[in-house]
Amino acid sequence: MQRSLIALCRGDIASSLTLYPALIPLIMLLAYTTLHLFYKFANGPKIIISAQIIVVSTVVVHYIYKIIIHHTIFH
């Protein structure tokens, strides 16, 4: 995740998404949650839970993808 954050700070969004695709949704979730703490949006809790589901799903799918791609049977 650190390399993805560094790539994102450098402006390389494609590299950041390749390294860790859940970073951008995670940053958006943290920003929205912080704003919700101060402004109490009407549907804030529902949006936060939905965003958490999206972030966790992205992490799990990326993890499974890496296991399948980097798994070799004969080595």
DSSP of 39-69: H--TTHHHHHHHHHHHHHHHHHHHHHHHHHH
CA-CA distance, 13 to 5, in Å (whole number)?
10
Q: Given this model, what pLDDT does residue 70 score?
A: 78
Residue matched to tokens 């990326």: 62
Residue 74, SS3? coil
Q: Mark the ranges of the chain whose per-residue pLDDT is less than 70.
A: 72-75
Entry pTM: 0.83
Residue matched to tokens 């109490």: 40
